[in-house]
């Protein structure tokens, strides 16, 4: 999809969301091909306004896949998992959100187009909420104590300490399960079709109570989704212990904890594993408040892109011009310059030609618009400025130097020739006196 169409759908989706036309907003956001993490986040927000928590959860899954470092994506998905009673997954999401803060107190998303700051204390309280709802009140207390020691602001610290006191006063003994009815994944009497409406992903499970049609006896059934819906009866052996096919336990709670810990198949035929317990409700007795993202917090497109939508030809920031495709390349109008020595009478807008010699590519080399600077005339040997150019003076000096060298070489040849002649001169003939003397 072209960038202009993406920005158009993004802008119109945000406008529809602000005008509370949430269905139109979803249509615009989902019309964007290869959407980014921010688009999926906006889609989830629109689904939440339509009370479609499951669809919002799916959109937040795509948000986290597109950008695993988006802390607000993990935080929002954790909130929806709490609503869907998937407390284990919610706790993991809140831990990831704290990790993405990288030790900071908050993250400001204004640069990404959202007017919202994700605070560390909000994530900590939401994590404590999920832990408390999952029966882990001691862990919830530890999270709040650690968060209160980390922050320095007095108002924030007071808020965390108040939450800690509420958990401590209401959470005594909550970590220990006394009976099956205390388990959050036990839904009591629940019809088969109602149980299936709560199970959506592989590993989702719950325990429900039913009656035997023949005998009318009360029985407990494990409803789990694993490549389809499975309903498996919890069986009591002769020792009144509970089991599925393997090891027996004194309570159904112990049996379920063993299956979740070992990740073993419930039965060989179903091959189902117990991964995510589905709670019967979000705990109404929870002393903490579940903090959600404000309704106005969605990602807006960049303002400069919105301004460019009003233009006839939309120009993005990055423009790529192909150098191989002449149809896609941008052509420039260059004035035609003929290969001629005559001075051109064209206007000043045209290029002037320095010479009629063409380069290797067949184009004439344009003359620079500004002439080179003129150096002052050189000085003669007498120190007087001459009217001759530098080149002429250098050439004259070279000629003088050559003539001096040639004269010196010629003198050297003359002297060497005289020496050679003197060395090679024949001896004088002996005189008569010498001859006569030699005869004696």
Q: Does 399 fall in a domain?
A: no
Domain CATH number, residue 159? 1.25.40.10
Kindly indicate the confidence band of residue 361, based on its pLDDT and cuts at 50, 70 and 90.
Answer: very low
Q: What is the pLDDT of residue 86?
A: 83
Q: Is residue 230 part of a domain?
A: yes
* Contact yes or no for 94/130 (Cβ under 8 A): yes
Instruction: Quickly state the pLDDT bin for 353 (edges 50, 70, 90).
Output: very low
> Which of 53-67, 182-196, 300-314 is predicted with the least confidence, judged by mean pLDDT?
300-314
Q: Of the given ranges (131-140, 360-369, 380-389), which has the lowest mean pLDDT?
A: 360-369
Instruction: Verify that 10 and 65 share a domain, yes or no.
Output: yes
| pLDDT given at position 81 | 87
CATH number at residue 252: 3.30.505.10
pLDDT band at 281 (very low <50, low <70, confident <90, very high): low
Claim to verify: residue 84 and residue 61 sit in the same structural domain: yes
Q: Residue 155: inside a domain, yes or no?
A: yes
The C-alpha angle 283, 286, 288, rounded to 5 degrees, equals 130
DSSP label at residue 365: E
Q: How many CB atoms lie within 10 A of CB 143?
A: 29
| Distances 137 to 77, 124, 127, 128, 393 between C-alpha atoms, Å | 22, 14, 11, 8, 100
Final residue of a domain: which of 261, 277, 293? 277
123 assigned to some structural domain: yes
Rounded to an integer, the average pLDDT of 214-243 is 87
Residue 81: CB atoms within 10 A of its CB come to: 23
**Measuring CA to CA, how many Å separate 144 from each of 107, 127, 128, 150, 309?**
20, 9, 7, 10, 48
Residues 33 and 100 in one domain: yes
Q: What is the mean pLDDT of residues 60-68?
A: 94
pLDDT of 368 higher than 60: no
CB 241 within 8 A of CB 249: yes
Q: What is the span of the domain harbouring residue 79?
A: 3-176+284-307
Residue 162 clears pLDDT 80, i.e. is over it: yes
pLDDT at residue 263 in the model: 86
Is there a domain that residue 129 lies in?
yes
What percent of the chain is modeled with pLDDT above 90? Answer: 22
Query: What pLDDT does 183 receive?
Result: 80
Helices (H), 174-297: 192-198, 252-262
With cut-offs at 50, 70 and 90, classify the pLDDT of residue 44: very high
Find the mean pLDDT for residues 129-147.
86
Per-residue pLDDT for 138 more than 50? yes
Which residues sit opposite 225 in a β-bridge?
229
pLDDT of the residue at 369: 60
Q: Are residues 42 and 155 in the same domain?
A: yes
Compute the distance between CA of residue 298 and CA of residue 102 in angstroms, rounded to an integer: 23
Can you give the pLDDT at residue 396?
82
Of 113-117, 274-278, 288-292, 330-334, where does mean pLDDT reach its minimum?
330-334
Torsion angle defined by CA atoms of residues 332, 336, 339 and 341, in that order, rounded to the nearest 10 degrees: -120
Q: How far apart are CA 74 and CA 59, in angstroms?
A: 12
Closest CA to 91 of 276, 293, 257: 276
The whole-number pLDDT of residue 384 equals 52
Mean pLDDT for the stretch of residues 102-120: 90
Q: Name the pTM for this structure.
A: 0.54
Segment holding 413, helix H or strand E: helix 390-424
In a domain, 203, yes or no: yes
Is residue 273 over pLDDT 80?
A: yes
For CA atoms 85, 91, 93, 98, give the dihedral sign: positive
Q: For residues 85 and 160, state if they share a domain.
A: yes
| Angle, vertex CA 349, rays to CA 347 and CA 353, nearest 5 | 80
What local confidence, expressed as pLDDT, does residue 199 receive? 87
Q: For residue 383, is pLDDT > 60?
A: no
**Do 271 and 125 belong to one domain?**
no
**Are both 297 and 247 inside the same structural domain?**
no
Distance, in Å, from the CA atom of 4 to the CA atom of 156, rounded to the nearest integer, reads 44
At residue 437, does pLDDT exceed 50? no
CB-CB neighbours of 238 under 10 Å: 6
- 291 and 227, same structural domain? no
SS3 392: helix
pLDDT > 80? residue 17: yes
pLDDT value at residue 378: 58
Q: Are residues 114 and 253 in the same domain?
A: no
**pLDDT-derived band of residue 42, with 50, 70 and 90 as boundaries?**
very high
Q: Are 118 and 164 in contact (CB under 8 A)?
A: no
Bigger pLDDT: 380 vs 89: 89
Shared domain check, 161 and 212: no
Q: Please tell me which residue, 258 or 312, carries the higher pLDDT value.
A: 258
Whether 42 and 159 share a structural domain = yes
- Whether 9 and 32 have beta carbons less than 8 Å apart is answered as yes
Query: Residues 28, 30, 34, 40: is their CA dihedral positive or negative?
Result: positive
- The whole-number average pLDDT for the span 219-227 is 91
Q: For residue 358, is pLDDT > 50?
A: no
Q: Which pLDDT tens digit goes with each residue over 152-161?
A: 888 888 888 8
Q: Quick check: is 291 in a domain? A: yes
**How many structural domains comprise the chain?**
2
**Which residue is associated with the tokens 């002439």?**
371
Q: Is the pLDDT of residue 190 over 70?
A: yes
Q: Does any domain span residue 21?
A: yes
Q: Are residues 121 and 44 in the same domain?
A: yes
């Amino acid at each position: 999809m072209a960038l202009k169409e993406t920005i158009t759908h993004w802008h119109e989706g945000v406008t529809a969301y602000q005008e509370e036309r949430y269905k139109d907003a979803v249509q615009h956001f989902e019309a964007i091909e290869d959407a980014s993490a921010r688009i999926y986040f906006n889609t989830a927000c629109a689904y939440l306004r339509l009370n479609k928590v499951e669809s919002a959860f799916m959109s937040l899954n795509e948000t986290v896949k597109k950008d695993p470092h988006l802390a607000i994506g993990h935080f929002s998905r954790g909130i929806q998992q709490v609503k869907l009673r998937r407390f284990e997954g919610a706790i993991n999401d809140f831990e990831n959100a704290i990790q993405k803060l990288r030790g900071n107190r908050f993250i400001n998303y204004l640069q990404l187009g959202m007017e919202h700051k994700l605070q560390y204390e909000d994530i900590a309280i939401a994590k404590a909420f999920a832990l408390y709802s999952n029966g882990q009140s001691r862990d919830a207390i530890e999270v709040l104590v650690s968060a209160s020691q980390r922050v320095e602001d007095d108002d924030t610290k007071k808020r965390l300490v108040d939450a800690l006191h509420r958990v401590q006063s209401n959470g005594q003994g909550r970590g220990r399960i006394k009976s099956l009815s205390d388990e959050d994944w036990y839904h009591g009497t629940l019809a088969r079709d109602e149980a299936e409406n709560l199970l959506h992903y592989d590993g989702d499970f719950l325990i429900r109570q039913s009656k035997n049609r023949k005998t009318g006896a009360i029985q407990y059934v494990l409803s789990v989704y694993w490549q389809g819906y499975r309903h498996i009866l919890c069986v009591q052996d002769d020792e009144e212990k509970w089991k599925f096919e393997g090891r027996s336990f004194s309570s159904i709670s112990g049996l379920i904890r063993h299956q979740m810990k070992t990740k073993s198949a419930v039965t060989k035929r179903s091959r189902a594993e117990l991964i995510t317990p589905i709670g019967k409700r979000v705990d109404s007795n929870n002393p903490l408040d579940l903090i959600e993202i404000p309704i106005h917090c969605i990602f807006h497109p960049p303002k400069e892109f919105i301004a460019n939508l009003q233009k006839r030809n939309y120009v993005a920031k990055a423009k790529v011009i192909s150098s191989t495709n002449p149809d896609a390349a941008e052509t420039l109008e260059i004035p035609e310059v003929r290969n001629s020595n005559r001075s051109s009478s064209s206007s000043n807008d045209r290029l002037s030609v320095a010479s009629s010699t063409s380069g290797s590519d067949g184009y004439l080399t344009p003359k620079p618009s500004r002439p080179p600077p003129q150096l002052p005339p050189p000085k003669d040997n007498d120190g007087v400025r001459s009217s001759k150019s530098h080149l002429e003076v250098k050439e004259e000096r070279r000629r003088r130097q050559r003539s001096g060298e040639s004269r010196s070489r010629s003198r050297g040849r003359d002297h060497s020739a005289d020496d050679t002649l003197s060395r090679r001169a024949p001896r004088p003939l002996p005189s008569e006196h010498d001859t006569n003397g030699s005869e004696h």
